[in-house]
Amino acid sequence: MPGSNEPDKYESIKGVLALDGYLDPFKDELLYRRGLADKWNQKFDEAEGGILNFAGSYKTYGLHCADDNSVIYTEYAPNAIAASLIGEFNNWSHDSHVMTKDAFGKFTITVPPLSNGKCAIPHDTRVKILLTLPSGEKVARLPVWIRRCTAPPDWYDNRNYEARFWNPPKDQVYQFKNPRPKEPQSLKIYEAHVGISTPEPRIGTYLEFAKNVLPRIKELGYNTVQLMSIMEHAYYASFGYQITSFFAISSRFGTPEELKELIDTAHGLGIRVLLDIVHSHASKNVDDGLNMFDGTDYYLFHSGGRGNHDQWDSRLFNYGNYETLRFLLSNLRFYLEEYQFDGFRFDGVTSMLYLHHGLGEGFSGDYNEYMNSHAAVDKEAISYLMLANDLCAKLGEVEQTSFTTVAEDVSGYPTLCCLRKQGGVGFDFRLSMSIPDMWIKVIKHLQDDDWNMGNIVHTLTNRRYGEKCIAYAESHDQALVGDKTLAFWLMDKEMYTNMSVTTELTPVIDRGIALHKMIRLITHALGGEAYLNFEGNEFGHPEWLDFPRVGNGDSYHYARRQFNLIDDDLLRYKFLYKFDCAMNATEAKYGWLNYPPAYVSLKHEGDKVIVFERHNLLFVFNFHPTNSFADYRVGVDKPGRYRIILNSDRTELGGHGRIDESKSEFFTTDFPWNNRRNFVQVYIPSRTAIVLALDE
């Protein structure tokens, strides 16, 4: 017999229990996991004045110039027995600037200004901390909270990055001019990498991106840009996933002030900016990373095997450690406040969620895999992710904005995208990572006649109720060398010879352009509550992405995006680009993202036709390679007159112009069809998608 107080016991998770009845057997475990985060919040309230103050530690840890031009340096290094601040400013002297250690393992020093009142540590000069270990060994490390690191002049002989004290004169500090854009009704993300965003085989810059790429993103109709590889990583070919200095932004693209200008420029265009944040692991580098910082393998990390990710060759954070939480939560607040980012895409969430890091796991969907108290789940990591979302929500209230959080999770962990107040982890969206895998399998392994409409629809619609997903047909993963983009799978070598409008349209290119448009549109409209595209994929970029490394002779030839191809009016890439513009513009005007899931009324295997309705719009896709259908009957719920608002067969979009839209009016017949109350009859050419709107 349950006690009289039992209903109150589950009050904090009743939201997720109401959303998903299958969670009921695991309510005690859900309560326990939520309780871990709630206890941390209580501890922060008692010891730090709340999570916001706790995450504001970036304002005191690290090197800071005070109003009187003295420099205050604070560093946590509990295993060290002594420390000194060394650098160009004191000729790397080991003894002139000795730091003081407190009982909690923090070292501090205040460097007074020079006699002329100027800062004793010149702007952008090199610094290090010299630690004395219990063995007597002295080790020089980069300050953990340093905000700028650069490659040494002798990069090819010495690959260790150098820390610099970033303290520009006040008149050179970038001042933000534009307010943050409001959270869009429909989230459309352009995933981008600053360094590759130039047609030339070199590293692009923040300012070049602001000038050349942001206007394209605006023209394409994306309202959010997700910047990858921003956090400093000594190894360029890691694609930004082997972070060495978490508070420093990649110097290979420019300075901190120039990144601020990029973000401010985006805001001026009405584009929000997300940071691809890497809190799932860290570089194993010792000399210019966090690894073994104070001589221990457990500095911010787990010790031993649990602290190493063998497949990624990286270190794993200890999310149950107080100072690790200070470091990571402060890192989030730092980027939101100092750089005015509008949220985060959390990388490697699957690795964080599970002790096995998702390696070799199929994730059948059995709730015991996620919610059983004995499941291989890292509950401390889940607690950290809850705290991260708490921080974003609380800071959003203070800033009178909303910060977007996205989880990269392939496992389908339940409640990941449910509100914290409901008992969830608190993310706004998760990436639908199964969709691009499905498209590659369909294109790679099946002839067009064998495409299974039911399987395509199932993959696009198979998501947890009440938890928002970001759909995408392909991302940076498919663009990287070793994989292939959709355009490459569809058109392969003919992209180099037959993409000119002055040459005959070949069957391969004709098919590729048609299916590329259809795949993007059905993914956009059916696959989730938001949409993502990786830069270049919108126009079928003809080459893979490969960063300079030993294996390719340190070549930048494939570490670029050839935007010049869409500016060439004689090339067919312009058609794919224009279709992306038209698709996003149609969604912006009529809306289908972030609305309740579509109702799919037809999945006809013989005709290769898919029909569905979403937010008062009617979508008809004919994937048949040869058959066009006149007066094709499709069900629709609302009666009235329908007209075409998007047609992938338009000539200006690379189609054949087989539909005369000036004469395309479709009136409903009051007769049930495919479980809808009415039907219309449409002409739907082969390999064509049309979107119709009720003319109200």
Residues 67-76 have a mean pLDDT of 97
pLDDT tens per residue, range 333-343: 999 999 999 99
Residues 100-105 have a mean pLDDT of 97
* pLDDT the model gives residue 493: 81
Residues 675-693 have a mean pLDDT of 97
pLDDT tens per residue, range 172-216: 999 999 999 999 999 999 999 999 999 999 999 999 999 999 999
Residues 17-41 have a mean pLDDT of 96
* pLDDT the model gives residue 538: 96
- Which architecture does CATH list for 57-172? Sandwich (2.60)
* pLDDT of 272 strictly over 60: yes
Residues 80-98 have a mean pLDDT of 97
* pLDDT of 143 strictly over 70: yes
The percent of residues in the chain predicted with pLDDT above 90, rounded, is 91
* pLDDT of 7 strictly over 90: no
**Correct CATH for 599-694 of 3.30.70.1450, 2.60.40.10, 1.10.1060.10, 2.60.40.1180:** 2.60.40.1180
Residues 228-251 have a mean pLDDT of 96
- Tokens representing residue 78 in the block: 């509990």
pLDDT tens per residue, range 563-603: 999 999 999 999 999 999 999 999 999 999 999 999 999 99
Identical topology for domains 187-448+470-584 and 599-694 = no
* pLDDT the model gives residue 480: 83
- Beta partners for residue 629, in sequence order: 684
The CATH number that domain 187-448+470-584 falls under is 3.20.20.80
Whose CA is closest to 695, among 664, 672, 671? 664
Give the count of beta carbons closer than 10 Å to the beta carbon of residue 184: 18
pLDDT band at 3 (very low <50, low <70, confident <90, very high): low
Boundaries of every domain in the chain: 6-55, 57-172, 187-448+470-584, 599-694
> What are the start-end ranges of the H helices in 339-428?
349-353, 368-371, 379-399
Task: Classify residue 567 as left (phi > 0), alpha (psi -120 to 50) or beta.
Answer: alpha
pLDDT band at 498 (very low <50, low <70, confident <90, very high): very high
- Tokens representing residue 529 in the block: 């509550």
pLDDT tens per residue, range 276-289: 999 999 999 999 99
* pLDDT of 5 strictly over 60: no
* pLDDT the model gives residue 6: 53
* pLDDT of 110 strictly over 50: yes
* pLDDT the model gives residue 1: 43
* pLDDT of 416 strictly over 50: yes
* pLDDT the model gives residue 289: 97
* pLDDT of 106 strictly over 90: yes
Could you give the 3-state DSSP secondary structure of residue 537? helix
pLDDT tens per residue, range 292-329: 999 999 999 999 999 999 999 999 999 999 999 999 99
More confident residue, 681 or 478: 681
CA 599 to chain centre: 28
- Tokens representing residue 177 in the block: 């001019």
Q: pTM of whole model > 0.85?
A: yes
Q: Specify the long-range contacts of residues 449-457, CB closer than 8 Å, at least 24 apart.
A: 449/608, 449/625, 451/608, 451/623, 452/605, 453/603, 453/604, 453/605, 453/608, 453/609, 453/610, 453/623, 454/603, 454/605, 456/522, 456/610, 457/526, 457/600, 457/603, 457/610, 457/612
Active site positions, annotated = 347, 408
Residues 467, 19: Cα–Cα separation, whole Å? 10
Query: What is the full DSSP assignment across 139-164?
Result: EEE--TT-S-EE--TTTTT----EEE
349-380 b/e (C-beta count within 10 Å ≥ 16 → b): bbbbbbeebbeeeeeeeeeebbbeeebebbbb
* pLDDT of 483 strictly over 90: no
Residues 70, 57: Cα–Cα separation, whole Å? 19
Residues 258, 256: Cα–Cα separation, whole Å? 5
Residues 656-667 have a mean pLDDT of 93
